[in-house]
Amino acid sequence: MSKVEDVVRWSADPDAPVGMRELLRAANAAEDGPSAAQIATMRGHVTAGLAPKAALLSIRAVIISVLVVGGVAAIIGYALSRSDQPEASMPIARLEPAPLAPIASPPPAPSPALTESPPSAPSTPPPVLAHAPKLATPPARGPVTPPKPAVRAAPPELETPPAPPVVVPPPAPPPPAISEVTLLEQARVALRGGNAARALELADQHAAVYPDGALAEEREALAIEALAKLGRHDEAAAKWTKFASSYPHSNYRARLQRLIEIPR
Amino acid sequence: MDSSPAISAPESPPPFAMIYDDHVKFVWRVLGRLGVARADLEDVCQEVFIVVHRRLAEFEGRSSLRTWIYGIALRCAADYRRRDARRRPASSAVPEIAIEGSQLEDLDARDARATLDRLLELLDPDKREVFVLFELEELAMAEVVALVGCPLQTGYSRLHAARDIVAAAAARMRAKERRS
């Protein structure tokens, strides 16, 4: 019934509740942004993780170079993850109960596309595997450190509540609630490192936790690539068909299409 | 060897770097207002720009670039809340609001921000989004509802509900100050 209201903002309304006008104005004046260092770091991560063109040509080179380091890390990671299994200090499981409806409506666009194009390896400091933090260094050094001792697969970034051992499929040594970015970054690194199976695992994990996540497009592209690399062409093709219709304008189309059409 | 290989952008001028520089602070601020914890701002902010980067080609100028980015930030903040809620059971208790000494009107910028954060914590996500976008970001209500995805009238009722909650809490705060 009320026609379009003409609501005056509190910050401009002399009749706003006492103090609110001042409070809002003062709060708005508080410049409390990211530090210059944070701005630079984020810029680095965003561009490093996404430069779309880099991947096309350099992917092979990257794979090769990453293989050396990544391969070692992957092996160690695998060994570690196995040793962790028994204690399973933290059951990641129950991450995906009810996917809540996103509260905010996303932008109109169709939807995300995959960031599959990992630029060149250098700048990305990404965690290698779930256990990345600790693994990252040892492998690079090579022979020196026997990395297994200390590692107890402590959750890398956050403390997980001592949740009761939940029900989850055993496949991945699931890291606790990690951010979308981190999860996919790990998947990407695994893929670049030649560990397509691991990449796929992580992509599946992402799909379980963030079915409609902001990076769903990245995830799908990555999964397609991983499937193709694993020689699971039928699955890759099926996923690709779905991807192509879901993300008609995806930046990854050309690249994925190539993968699908020229299975190796 | 001095013919530096043109490391130029892919094809079209890549305004991304510019967009990033122009908007990073604003995205950071909005995310904070929408409830992303300080410690997580960097991660979530990064997520927003990954999406911006990826979707830039799809941006059709139907809205302003800023509004478009608001949409992405809103979505990422919502994803974040979901994630965060899982990680840490909602603190059911209404945060105790108390400010030291000074009057609401006299808070300096930092205290004002902190106070405001606590007030915003009282709002559920729907109301919070509307309140933040309208009162703090100063978007027009039509834009707000387009972003949030609800009818105009719903937008207004969320705003009013949010205002009631905030005003009541602020009044309690003042009463407390007076008593002390």
Q: How confident is the model at residue A36 (pLDDT cuts 50, 70, 90)?
A: confident
- What's the number of domains chain A is made of? 1
Q: Is residue A30 part of a domain?
A: no
Provide, as residue numbers in chain B, all residues whose Cβ is less than 8 Å from the Cβ of A104: 71, 74-75, 77-78, 129, 147-149
pLDDT at residue B130 greater than cutoff 90: yes
Could you say which of A2, A23, A109 has the minimum Cβ distance to residue B104?
A23
Q: Token digits for A11?
A: 């910050």
In B1-20, the residues whose Cβ lies within 8 Å of chain A are 10, 16-17, 20
Contact predicate B135/A10, CB 8 Å: yes
Residue-wise DSSP of A183-216: HHHHHHHHHHTT-HHHHHHHHHHHHHH-TT-TTH
Instruction: Tell me the average pLDDT of chain A.
Output: 63
Q: Is residue A26 part of a domain?
A: no
Least reliable range by pLDDT among A49-53, A97-101, B167-171: A97-101
Alpha-carbon span A66 to A87, nearest angstrom? 30
Q: Is residue A204 part of a domain?
A: yes
Domain containing residue A217: CATH number: 1.25.40
Q: Which domain holds residue A234?
A: 55-92+112-150+177-264
Q: State pLDDT tens for residues A124-143.
A: 333 333 333 333 333 434 44
pLDDT at residue B161 greater than cutoff 90: yes
pLDDT of residue A164: 53
Contact predicate A49/A115, CB 8 Å: yes
Q: Fold for domain B102-180?
A: Arc Repressor Mutant, subunit A (1.10.10)
pLDDT at residue A158 greater than cutoff 60: no
A89 in contact with B, Cβ within 8 Å = no
Q: Token digits for A168?
A: 């989850």
pLDDT of residue A105: 40
Torsion angle (degrees, nearest 10) of CA A60, A40, B39, A202: -10
Segment B149-172 shows an average pLDDT of: 92
Q: Do B75 and A104 touch (CB under 8 A)?
A: yes
In degrees and rounded to multiples of 5, residue B45 shows phi and psi of: -60, -40
Q: Do A26 and B107 touch (CB under 8 A)?
A: yes
Q: Do B112 and A29 touch (CB under 8 A)?
A: yes
Q: Is A145 left (phi over 0), alpha (psi -120 to 50) or beta?
A: beta
Q: How confident is the model at residue A108 (pLDDT cuts 50, 70, 90)?
A: very low
Q: How confident is the model at residue A177 (pLDDT cuts 50, 70, 90)?
A: low
pLDDT of residue B77: 93
A103 in contact with B, Cβ within 8 Å = yes
Q: Is residue A241 part of a domain?
A: yes
Helix axes A253-261, A216-229, angle to 10 degrees: 20
C-alpha distance from A81 to closest chain B C-alpha (Å): 22
Q: Token digits for A14?
A: 């002399």
Q: Is residue A172 part of a domain?
A: no
The better pLDDT of the pair A262, B116 is held by B116
pLDDT of residue A117: 35
Alpha-carbon span A164 to A184, nearest angstrom? 26
Least reliable range by pLDDT among A56-60, A67-71, B38-42: A56-60
B136 in contact with A, Cβ within 8 Å = yes
Percentage above 70 pLDDT, chain B: 77
Segment A107-119 shows an average pLDDT of: 37
CB pairs under 8 A between A and B: 205
pLDDT of residue A39: 87
Which CATH architecture best describes the domain B13-89?
A: Orthogonal Bundle (1.10)
The better pLDDT of the pair A200, A32 is held by A200
B176 in contact with A, Cβ within 8 Å = no
pLDDT at residue A112 greater than cutoff 60: no
Could you say which of B25, B53, B159 has the minimum Cβ distance to residue A34?
B25
Could you say which of A4, A104, A215 has the minimum Cβ distance to residue B50?
A215
Tell the residue number behind the tokens 């992580």, with chain if given. A202
Segment A153-165 shows an average pLDDT of: 48
Percentage above 90 pLDDT, chain A: 6
CB neighbours of residue A25 within 10 Å: 15
Q: Do B78 and A177 touch (CB under 8 A)?
A: no
Q: What is the CA radius of gyration of chain A?
A: 22
Segment A59-68 shows an average pLDDT of: 42
Q: Is residue A202 part of a domain?
A: yes
All structural domains of chain B with their residue ranges: 13-89, 102-180
The better pLDDT of the pair B108, B140 is held by B140
